[in-house]
């Protein structure tokens, strides 16, 4: 995945970046696999985060019209973005999200128990990602922080919830502003956060039905959230890396309660049914997908260290 000068000059490079974006967008629709993790695997994570930072700072700088330097600084930030990489990646992401929403929405509606099982297996296996990122840095203090975060998430996801069919657009924008943070946090799934908020299926339906007011509110919230948090999260991950990974692990663990396969219409857990064996196999299949991604990431990391 090394980004060599020869790679940059290759005529196939834009197609490769389009495929990278498609992979990232495809997993962003699925609760459990983080788009940030896939961006790490395919080698564009740092480029995308750097581009997001420059775009945000460029937009902020454009407001400096009093001294007449705003547009100059904005242009400088926008020139710093590697558009030859970012543009095809973003295009691939958009296409994958639209297609993925059309495929997943009817599945979630028709097979809620089965889809929760698959998503639950994915998220359970995804716990390996922040755990491995911290590695030997775990201490009893970080373990305690993870347990507290897990208990908080377990309690919150145990509240009676259901899919919000017609949420206020303000709530849609607020949920999007939080979920978009998953784009800059490997190991955290934005689709999973929407699932916890009760807006996952609603958002898929809105995409499929081209609900423009909903989509506009979601997009506005995502832009605002990314603008507010991208630089903050970069600083937090850099300065408090171990703490953030411990929190991430605990939140993911506790939130698994929301994906217990057997639930009533209010999101309350019920006893396993006669289909327990088949549901367990589906959960294992979901976990296997994520374990494959984790193994691929580990292989890429070993290859980079070797070179």
Nearest to 249 by CA among 161, 136, 127: 127
Q: pLDDT value at position 147? A: 94
In this structure, are residues 196 and 157 in contact, taking their beta carbons and an 8 Å threshold? yes
Angle between the N-to-C axes of helices 200-208 and 212-239, in degrees from 0 to 180, rounded to the nearest 10: 130
Structure tokens at 169: 């657009």
Report the chain (307 residues): mean pLDDT per 10 consecutive residues.
Answer: 46 80 81 70 78 80 61 80 89 88 76 87 82 85 93 77 76 88 69 79 86 92 82 75 85 81 78 90 90 76 69
Residue 230, pLDDT score? 74
pTM over 0.75: no
Write the DSSP assignment of 86-146 as a string of letters.
HHHHHHHHHHHHHHHHHHHHHHHHH-HHHHHHHHHHHHHHHTHHHHHHHGGG--HHHHHHH
pLDDT at 139: 92
Q: What is the DSSP letter of 187?
A: T
**How confident is the model at residue 4, as a pLDDT?**
44
pLDDT on residue 2: 42
Distance CA 294, CA 307 (A): 20
Helix axes 83-110, 200-208, angle to 10 degrees: 110
Tell me, what's the pLDDT at 271?
86
Buried b / exposed e across 53-75, counting CB within 10 Å, b at 16+?
Answer: bbbbbbeebbeeeeeeebeeebe
CB 189 within 8 A of CB 123: yes
- Report the distance separating Cα 233 and Cα 118, nearest Å: 29
d(CA 193, CA 261): 17
Quote the pLDDT of residue 91.
94
Largest CA distance in the chain: 71
What are the C-alpha distances in Å from 180 to residues 170, 186, 220?
15, 12, 11
Contact assessment for residue 250 and residue 145, using Cβ atoms and an 8 Å cutoff:
yes
Query: What's residue 188's pLDDT?
Result: 66
Contacts of 303 (CB under 8 A, 6+ apart): 1
Rounded Cα–Cα distance for residues 39 and 79 (Å): 22
């Amino acid at each position: 995945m090394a980004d060599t000068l020869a790679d940059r000059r290759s005529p196939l490079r834009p197609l490769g970046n389009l495929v990278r974006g498609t992979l990232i967008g495809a997993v962003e629709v699925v609760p459990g696999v983080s788009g940030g993790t896939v961006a790490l695997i395919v080698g564009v994570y740092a480029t995308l985060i750097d581009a997001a930072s420059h775009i945000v700072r460029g937009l902020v700088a454009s407001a400096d019209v009093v001294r007449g330097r705003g547009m100059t600084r904005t242009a400088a930030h926008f020139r710093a973005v590697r558009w030859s990489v970012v543009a095809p990646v973003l295009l691939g992401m958009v296409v994958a999200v639209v297609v993925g929403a059309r495929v997943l929405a009817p599945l979630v509606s028709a097979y809620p128990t089965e889809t929760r099982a698959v998503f639950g297996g994915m998220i359970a296996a995804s716990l390996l990602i922040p755990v491995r990122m911290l590695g030997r840095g775990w201490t009893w203090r970080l373990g305690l922080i993870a347990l507290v975060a897990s208990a908080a998430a377990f309690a919150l996801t145990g509240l009676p919830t259901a899919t919000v069919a017609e949420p206020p657009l303000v709530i849609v924008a607020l949920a999007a502003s939080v979920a978009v943070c998953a784009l800059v946090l490997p190991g955290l799934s934005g689709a999973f956060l929407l699932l916890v908020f009760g807006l996952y299926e609603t958002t898929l339906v809105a995409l499929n039905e081209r609900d423009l007011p909903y989509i506009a509110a979601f997009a506005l919230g995502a832009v605002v959230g990314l603008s507010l948090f991208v630089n903050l999260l970069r600083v937090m991950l850099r300065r408090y890396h171990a703490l953030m990974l411990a929190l991430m692990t605990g939140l993911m663990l506790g939130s698994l309660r929301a994906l217990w396969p057997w639930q009533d219409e209010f999101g309350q857990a019920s006893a396993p049914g006669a289909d327990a064996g088949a549901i367990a196999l589906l959960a294992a299949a979901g976990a296997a997908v994520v374990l494959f991604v984790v193994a691929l990431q580990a292989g890429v990391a070993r290859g980079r260290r070797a070179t």
